[in-house]
Amino acid sequence: MDNGFADSDDEEEGKKAATKKPKASDDLYAGSLSFKAGKSSNTCLYYVEYSKLKNNGNGLDPHDRNELASELSKAESEEAALKTTLQQMTVETAKLLSEPTNEEATARLETEEAALAGLKSQVEEGRKLKVNEKHKQQTKRRIDNMATQWRKRRRICMDFLISMEENTDGTISAKKCLAGDGQIEIDSDEAVAKASVEYGKKKRARPMGKKKTSMATKSGKTEGSGVPPSESFVAVMLDSQGCVQRVHLDEEGV
């Protein structure tokens, strides 16, 4: 008798054979690793047959290798460009941080504008003085003449005091007389300057009252627009070279 299920069995076996995994011989790299047995385990040799690899084991294809080198060069160029841009941005950032902000610039501008206005007023005053150059020269000649007479009288006074000290064997001291503590009362430059400094310091220590405004003009402006006088200037003296020197309250050693 014929078996009615014979055909169905063949069909099932065909399906199972179709669903089986591919053998190792179907792998691209199958047989690449070879083994050569030796007399002992230490003499056994394992080796790889690179001829089955891509491009016969010589690495990438020339086309792929050139493309990879091109991409690498392009990436290096982009990296260098980005580093240059970063360096420029760092320098610009440091420059911007060193510059003042808008608020600081506005405040500084207002201060500089006020200082500029003061300088312009001083320039205008200086131009007025340039017109009076003749009067300036006359005043300078008068000051030089008075300073010459001052030096001459000082020299006569010093010669007199020195001779008196020598003739009296030190009984009359020139130094004490100049300081105002000697036997001869003399209004020396040092004593006058010292008294002026003491008076100026006492005056400065007094409480200031309400300042009186000048009514010289109807517009309410103060009388005189020249250079304001120095409140610390109290006296003049002759220095070691015979030149006129100003004495101020804030100077030490007076």
One-letter amino acid at 193 equals A
* Amino acid 89: pLDDT: 95
Q: Are residues 187 and 148 in the same domain?
A: yes
Do the strands 233-238 and 244-248 form a parallel or antiparallel pair, or are they unpaired?
Answer: antiparallel
Q: Are residues 139 and 164 in the same domain?
A: yes
In a domain, 32, yes or no: no
* Amino acid 222: pLDDT: 44
Total residues belonging to the chain: 254
In a domain, 142, yes or no: yes
Q: Are residues 67 and 176 in the same domain?
A: no
Q: Are residues 178 and 195 in the same domain?
A: yes
Total of domains in the chain: 3
* Amino acid 85: pLDDT: 95
In a domain, 207, yes or no: no
pLDDT digits (tens, 9 = 90+) for 205-253: 777 655 444 444 444 444 444 556 677 888 887 777 777 788 888 765 4
Greater confidence (78 vs 151) lies with: 78
In a domain, 218, yes or no: no
Q: Are residues 147 and 195 in the same domain?
A: yes
- In angstroms, how far is the first alpha carbon of the chain from the final one? 151
Please give the residue range of the domain that contains residue 151.
132-202+236-254
* Amino acid 12: pLDDT: 56
pLDDT digits (tens, 9 = 90+) for 90-118: 999 999 888 888 888 899 999 999 999 99
Q: Using CA atoms, how far apart are residues 59 and 48, in angstroms rounded to an integer?
A: 15
For the question of whether the overall pTM of this predicted structure is more than 0.75, the answer is no
Q: Are residues 142 and 186 in the same domain?
A: yes
Q: Are residues 242 and 183 in the same domain?
A: yes
Per-residue pLDDT band at 29 (split at 50, 70, 90): low
Q: Are residues 84 and 107 in the same domain?
A: no
* Amino acid 227: pLDDT: 55
Greater confidence (49 vs 63) lies with: 63
In a domain, 222, yes or no: no
Residue 245, helix vs strand vs coil: strand
For 31, left (φ over 0), alpha (ψ -120 to 50), or beta? left
Asked whether the beta carbons of 172 and 182 are under 8 A apart, the reply is yes
Domain closes at, from 131, 154, 177? 131
Across 188-195, average pLDDT? 80
Q: Are residues 182 and 252 in the same domain?
A: yes
